[in-house]
Amino acid sequence: MKKLICIWLLSVWFLPLFAQQLSTEKEAMQYYNKAIELNPKDANTYVNRGNFKSDLGDSQGAMQDFNKAIELNPKNAGAYYNRGLLKYRLED
């Protein structure tokens, strides 16, 4: 049972990353949204979706995802780092 859970979690977490590389932007975003729907307390998925939104030019959506990641895990250095980079870019 533990192996099944691990496989499921890895597929939910990594599938959006693979889709981002191999699929259309719309499909990749759907995978990110589904991963968050299935595991809404995973801060790392919010960080990854925030990075994807930032790459697409959705700065507001990216900022919301980074903030949510920090809310879920205040020790998530990646969320702070990416939020800081985004704030820096927006101020230029």
pLDDT tens sequence across 25-45: 888 898 889 889 988 999 999
- Measured CA to CA, the distance from residue 9 to residue 3 in angstroms comes to 10
User: Which pLDDT score is estimated for 2?
Assistant: 62
What would the mean pLDDT of 5-14 be, rounded to a whole number? 56
User: Rounded to two decimals, what is the model's pTM?
Assistant: 0.79
Task: Give dist(CA 77, CA 31) in Å, integer.
Answer: 24
What confidence score (pLDDT) does residue 28 get? 85
Report, at the CATH architecture level, how domain 24-91 is classified: Alpha Horseshoe (1.25)
Domain boundaries along the sequence of the chain: 24-91
**Cα separation, 30 vs 71, whole angstroms:** 23
